[in-house]
C-alpha cells in the first residue's frame, strides 16, 4: 500500500504539467514505467504516454517495482511508486516517504517545473 | 501531403490561437502553402538525419494532437517562431523525450548571435549527443518554451512547452 503522503502543487493541471512531472521522475528513475490509472495502459517510454487523456498517472522506478504492485504484494518497497493526479488548478503527488533524498529531489524538481509553467501560462496570458 | 492537408493545417493553427500566422502573412493566401513546404522539408530532414520516418503532415500532427495537445500546440508555436529546420528538429526531439544537455548562447550587441542546443537521450550516459545551432537571434524566442526548474538546487531545463494554454 502506498503510504499516502499527499503533496498538492498549485498548477495548470493540464497535459503539459503532467509531462513536466513525468520528466522529473524519469530523471530520478531512468528505468521508469508509467501507467495510466484510468485505462490501465502501461508505457515503458515517456514519449509513448498520451498525456492528453491521462488524469491520473502512476510511475514505477523499474519493472520489478511494477511487478510488485501488479501482484498487490505486501513486500512492495517503500517509495516504489508515485501517484500523480492532475486537476484543473493543481497537481497532487502521492508517495510513501517524502523524507528520503530521492523524493526530496523529485518534489523539488516538480515544484519548480510546475511553477515555471504557471508563470509562462498566466504571465503571458495577462 | 494530401488534398486535405491545407484545410487540416489551417484548422490546427486556428484551433491553437495561431490564425494570425495565416491572416498576417503577406500575401495571406500563400501562408498555408509555405508552411506545408516547410513541414515537407522537416519530414525529409528528419529522415536524412535519423534514418527513420516521422511525418510532419498536418494529418499526423492532428492525430498526435489527440494524444498530446500540448506538444502540438508547442510545436506549432515553434513553427511560428522560427523558419529554421534545424531548430524545429531540435524542438521535435525534445517533444519526443530527449533531455536538454547543454545550451550555449553567445551574443555581442550588433555583432553576433550564436545559439547551440545539445540534446541527450535519457538513460544513455555517454551516448551520442545531438547538436542544433542557429545564428538567427529570433530563435532565442524558442528558449522561452523550455521547462525550467532545479533538482538538488542545480539548474535544469527540461521539456518544451506551450506558452499559453487554450
- The nearest alpha carbon in chain B to A109 belongs to B151
Residue B131 is given by DSSP the state E
5-34 in chain B: CB under 8 A from chain A: none
Verify whether the Cβ–Cβ distance B163 to A105 is below 8 Å: no
- Residue B84, min C-alpha distance to chain A (Å): 24
Q: Which residue's C-alpha cell is 503533496?
A: A7
Residue B162 is given by DSSP the state -
Q: Taking CB atoms and an 8 Å cutoff, what residues of chain A touch B96?
A: 47
Verify whether the Cβ–Cβ distance A52 to B161 is below 8 Å: no
Helix (H, G, I), strand (E, B) or coil at B56: coil
| The pLDDT value given to residue B123 | 79
- Rounded Cα distance between B85 and B1, Å, is 18
Cβ of B141: how many Cβ atoms within 10 Å?
16
Residue B125, pLDDT > 90, answer no
Minimum mean pLDDT range among A43-47, A119-123, B53-57:
A119-123
Per-residue confidence band for B166, with pLDDT thresholds at 50, 70 and 90: very low
| The pLDDT value given to residue A72 | 83
| The pLDDT value given to residue B84 | 95
Residue B83, pLDDT > 80, answer yes
List the single best residue of A52, A59, A100 to mutate versus B (max B Cβ within 10 A). Answer: A52
Query: Which of A20, A52, A109 faces B67 most closely, judged by CB atoms?
Result: A52
Cα distances (angstroms) measured from residue B155 to each of B14, B131, B151, B158? 35, 20, 7, 10
Verify whether the Cβ–Cβ distance A125 to B164 is below 8 Å: yes
B160/B123: higher pLDDT: B160
**Which tens digits make up the pLDDT trace of A3-59?**
689 999 999 999 999 999 999 999 999 999 999 999 999 999 999 999 999 999 999
- ipTM, 2 decimals? 0.89
| The pLDDT value given to residue A2 | 60
**Which tens digits make up the pLDDT trace of B17-35?**
999 999 998 887 899 999 9
What is the average per-residue pLDDT within B96-109? 97
| The pLDDT value given to residue B74 | 97
| This prediction's pTM | 0.92
Q: Taking CB atoms and an 8 Å cutoff, what residues of chain B touch A34?
A: none
Residue B131, pLDDT > 50, answer yes
Residue A125, pLDDT > 70, answer no
Query: Contact, B68 vs B123, CB < 8 A?
Result: no
What is the average per-residue pLDDT within B161-166? 76
List the single best residue of B71, B121, B165 to mutate versus A (max A Cβ within 10 A). Answer: B165
Average pLDDT of chain B?
Answer: 94
- Rounded Cα distance between B31 and B23, Å, is 8
What is the average per-residue pLDDT within A96-107? 96
Minimum mean pLDDT range among A103-107, B1-5, B10-14:
B1-5
Query: Which of A16, A24, A51 faces B158 most closely, judged by CB atoms?
Result: A24
Verify whether the Cβ–Cβ distance B99 to A27 is below 8 Å: yes
Per-residue confidence band for A62, with pLDDT thresholds at 50, 70 and 90: very high
- Note whether B154 contacts A: Cβ–Cβ < 8 A: no
| The pLDDT value given to residue B112 | 98
| The pLDDT value given to residue B165 | 52
- Note whether B152 contacts A: Cβ–Cβ < 8 A: yes
Minimum mean pLDDT range among A10-14, A101-105, B72-76, B102-106:
A10-14
Whole-number percent of chain A with pLDDT over 70: 95
| Domain edges within chain A | 5-125
Verify whether the Cβ–Cβ distance A116 to B144 is below 8 Å: no
Cα distances (angstroms) measured from residue A68 to each of A97, B126, B157? 18, 31, 33
Q: Taking CB atoms and an 8 Å cutoff, what residues of chain A touch B159?
A: 16, 19-20, 23, 113
Amino acid at each position: 500500500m502506498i503510504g499516502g503522503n499527499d503533496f498538492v502543487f498549485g498548477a495548470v493541471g493540464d497535459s503539459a504539467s503532467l509531462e513536466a512531472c513525468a520528466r522529473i521522475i524519469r530523471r530520478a528513475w531512468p528505468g521508469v514505467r508509467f501507467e495510466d490509472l484510468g485505462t490501465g495502459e502501461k508505457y515503458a517510454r515517456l514519449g509513448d504516454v498520451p498525456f492528453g487523456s491521462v488524469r491520473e498517472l502512476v510511475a514505477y522506478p523499474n519493472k520489478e517495482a511494477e511487478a510488485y504492485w501488479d501482484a498487490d504484494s505486501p513486500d512492495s518497497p517503500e517509495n516504489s511508486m508515485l501517484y500523480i493526479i492532475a486537476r484543473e488548478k493543481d497537481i497532487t503527488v502521492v508517495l510513501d516517504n517524502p523524507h528520503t533524498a530521492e523524493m526530496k529531489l523529485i518534489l523539488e524538481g516538480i515544484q519548480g517545473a510546475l511553477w515555471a509553467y504557471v508563470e509562462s501560462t498566466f504571465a503571458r496570458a495577462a | 501531403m494530401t488534398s486535405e492537408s491545407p484545410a487540416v493545417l489551417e484548422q490546427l493553427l486556428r484551433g491553437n490561437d495561431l490564425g494570425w500566422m495565416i491572416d498576417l502573412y503577406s500575401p495571406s493566401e500563400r501562408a498555408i502553402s509555405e508552411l506545408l513546404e516547410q513541414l515537407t522539408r522537416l519530414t525529409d530532414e528528419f529522415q536524412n538525419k535519423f534514418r527513420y520516418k516521422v511525418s510532419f503532415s498536418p494529418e499526423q500532427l492532428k492525430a498526435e494532437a489527440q494524444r498530446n495537445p500540448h506538444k502540438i500546440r508547442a510545436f506549432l508555436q515553434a513553427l511560428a517562431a522560427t523558419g529554421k529546420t534545424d531548430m524545429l528538429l531540435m524542438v521535435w526531439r525534445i517533444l519526443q523525450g530527449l533531455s536538454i544537455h547543454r545550451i550555449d548562447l553567445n551574443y555581442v550587441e550588433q555583432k553576433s548571435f550564436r545559439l547551440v542546443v545539445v540534446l541527450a537521450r535519457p538513460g544513455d550516459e555517454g551516448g551520442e549527443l545531438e547538436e542544433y545551432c542557429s545564428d538567427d537571434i529570433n530563435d532565442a524566442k524558442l528558449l522561452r518554451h523550455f521547462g525550467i526548474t532545479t533538482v538538488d538546487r542545480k539548474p535544469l531545463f527540461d521539456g518544451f512547452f506551450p506558452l499559453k494554454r487554450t
